[in-house]
């Protein structure tokens, strides 16, 4: 069986490449902001470590608290599964 390569999420470019999102919360203003990772990945911040990246609030300048968001669910067509499909698998 082939080995699955691990997904490494160490830089902002890694997050963007794998479809993750990064949001920030300002505890002082109580504001949430969704960061534009594809834009950040095209700048000199692309190779910045996620743990070293310290965004600041645009309104008051307070350091933000980061929240990593999982990749968005694929919105393509859904596979159709029927009872017969499940019954066939149960017999196998």
Domain annotation covers residue 92: no
- From residue 57, give the alpha-carbon distance in Å to each of 26, 65, 90: 6, 10, 54
Domain annotation covers residue 59: yes
For 24, the enclosing helix (H) or strand (E) is strand 21-26
pLDDT in tens, 2-20: 788 888 899 999 999 989 9
Range of the domain at 51: 12-72
CA-based angle 63:51:74, to the nearest 5? 100
pLDDT in tens, 44-90: 989 999 999 999 999 999 999 999 998 877 666 666 655 555 555 55
Indicate the DSSP class of residue 76. Answer: S
Q: Based on the structure, what is the number of domains in the chain?
A: 1
Domain annotation covers residue 57: yes
């Amino acid at each position: 069986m082939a080995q699955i390569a691990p997904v490494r999420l160490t830089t902002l470019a890694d997050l963007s490449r794998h479809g993750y999102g990064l949001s920030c919360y300002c505890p002082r203003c109580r504001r949430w902001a969704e960061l534009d990772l594809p834009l950040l990945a095209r700048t000199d911040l692309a190779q910045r470590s996620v743990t070293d990246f310290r965004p600041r609030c645009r309104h008051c300048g307070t350091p933000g608290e980061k929240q990593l968001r999982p990749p968005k669910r694929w919105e393509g067509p859904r596979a159709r599964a029927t009872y017969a499909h499940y019954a066939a698998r149960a017999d196998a």
